[in-house]
Amino acid sequence: MFGTSFTALVPLWAVLATSFPHHPSHDDLLIKTDSFAVKGTVWPNNSATHFYGNIPYAEPPVGELRWRPPVTKSPSTEVINGSWFGPSCIQYSSGAETAYTEYLTGFLISPGQTQSEDCLTLNVWAPKNATEGDKLPVMIWIHGGGFTSGGAASQYKYGDRLASDQNEIVVALNYRLNIFGYPNAAALNGRNLNPGLLDQRKAVEWVYQNIYAFGGDPEQMTLFGQSAGGIAVDFYTYAYPFDPLVKGFIPQSGVVSSVAPDRTGSNFTYVASRLGCGNATTADETFACLQKVDAQAIIEVYNNYNATLNGGKSLSFSPTADNQTRFENYTDLQTRGLFARVPTIYSMVNNEGTTLLDYDPAGVNQTAAAAFTASFATCPGDAAAAAKAAFGVPVWRTRYFGTWPNLNPLSWLGAFHSSDLPMIFGTSDLRGPDTPAEVATSKYYQGAWAAFARDPSNGLKEYGWPTYDPNGKTLIELGLNGSTTAVFAESDAFQAACQ
């Protein structure tokens, strides 16, 4: 998520509209509706795409709204400066080196990105000629980052090429992270424990209600995400089984059972005790006290926490089971078919573990990395795909193997966690020119995702991909041994690691 820096913003437009028409109107790059107005820009280095950034989809989650479900954004006559992304949500950082901080910075938030608690915004890339009534397919992106960091502004995941090359709308959203998104506070009484996941739903609702103004079709939306974003997409399929609003799902490198829920329940109290709220006599008083504390002071407690100095106890904040947005027993829900029965691609890469285990510049233990890949992605992904296919849901299962000179600075990385993203977004030339095979692979990969977005039920069948069958030759291998198109393997080809 680094590379070329676009830190300078176009000056804020000094435009205020006194009244808006009942229908959207376009004045060059100005879009106005009854609810909002945004002035966009031509995307840097891609004149075929228009960009509308920094659009709030909820009220700022500050003060009494901190740790509460997102509140629908009130209509406003102020014209939003959409020339760049709004602030990223407050990030957790332990300061530890990783392969991403040292070699793969293009996957992190972009240079110059500020951080703020007031961060519930989304961003739209649209083909330059898109206008209301076009009814273009819409792809809504949820970023990864372990539910602790990351954001919509991330260079390998910029949506301009996906939008222009495939003639579709791409939306990327921010959502609350770490303690701000997953407080697990006793005062919440086990309800609405994951405001960060509720943010995602609020953003999808905003897109459903407003994307027509940008030329998108609210009845043809796909929700896709990777890593924590992929897990969040899979969470969504169970949280909204009867009104998902979207017509397709693509969880990449993460499903509901990839990570266990946080059951400690004590972390919020610890942070409160470090910030002058330790003398509160009830959970409600502790909660109210910490709502008044400066957000930067809160994240610094988390960033600077040392487990060794605290008896080895960890301090972490991630989605926990509230049986609303995250459930305690997904096996039960899978068995009973309690999920959105919507076409789904379950996607992963071949070497998930090489960048997710503890970083060592000399390389990771490949046996340990393979075991991690199996437990994090292969086995839970296969189980999730089989569960939905058993209820007649069109499901596809993919595994990516590609390695390229401009994406693999270390020989031991292989097809590492996130390495498929530049293929999908068409951004693999960020750090150097692509090879011809890389270009072809990216176009094929991007074309598959777009075919699914245009017609989730049949697009990939027409693309030549078989739907998932646990006992068939339906595993779709991409980037394998230089192949620029799909290779089909037995669906249980990697199941030995799951025994």
Reduced to 3 DSSP states, what percent helix, strand and coil does the chain have, rounded to the nearest 5? Answer: 30, 15, 50
Q: Rounded to the nearest 10 degrees, what angle do helices 195-210 and 228-239 cross at?
A: 80
Could you give the 3-state DSSP secondary structure of residue 348?
Answer: strand
Contact present, 144 and 258 (Cβ < 8 Å): no
CA 276 to chain centre: 34
Q: What is the sign, positive or negative, of the torsion defined by CA atoms of 147, 150, 156, 161?
A: positive
Pick from 32, 135, 141, 136: nearest CA to 78: 32
Query: How far is Cα 379 from Cα 385, in angstroms, rounded to an integer?
Result: 10
pLDDT at 17: 28
Q: Is 417 among the residues known to form the active site?
A: yes
pLDDT at 394: 98
Q: Is 219 among the residues known to form the active site?
A: no
* Residue of 117, 168, 352, 438 marked active site: 352
Pick from 206, 224, 66: nearest CA to 123: 206
Compute and round to an integer the Cα radius of gyration of the chain: 22
CA-angle at 37, arms to 34 and 42, nearest 5°: 140
* Residue of 417, 428, 442, 491 marked active site: 417
The backbone torsions φ and ψ at residue 221, rounded to the nearest 5 degrees and listed phi first, read -110, 140
Query: How far is Cα 311 from Cα 181, in angstroms, rounded to an integer?
Result: 26
Q: 58: which 2 tokens? A: 């909820």
DSSP notation for 86-99: -PEEPPP------H
Q: What is the sign, positive or negative, of the torsion defined by CA atoms of 471, 476, 481, 485?
A: positive
pLDDT at 266: 72
Pick from 66, 64, 35, 39: nearest CA to 50: 39
What stretches of 354-435 show up as alpha helix (H) in DSSP? 366-373, 379-389, 421-425
* Residue of 227, 318, 428, 491 marked active site: 227
pLDDT, mean of each 10-residue run, the chain (499 residues): 31 28 57 96 96 98 98 96 98 95 97 97 97 96 98 98 98 98 95 97 98 98 98 98 98 94 78 95 97 98 94 92 96 97 98 96 96 97 97 98 97 97 98 97 98 98 97 97 97 93
pLDDT at 381: 97
- b/e sequence 420-445, b meaning 16+ C-beta within 10 Å: bbbbbbbbbbbbeebeeebeebbebb
Q: Is 352 among the residues known to form the active site?
A: yes
Pick the CATH number of 1-263+296-342 from 3.40.50.150, 3.40.1350.10, 2.30.40.10, 3.40.50.1820: 3.40.50.1820
**250: which strand partners?**
224
Where do the domains of the chain lie?
1-263+296-342, 346-499
pLDDT at 28: 76
Query: How far is Cα 178 from Cα 122, in angstroms, rounded to an integer?
Result: 19
pLDDT at 27: 63
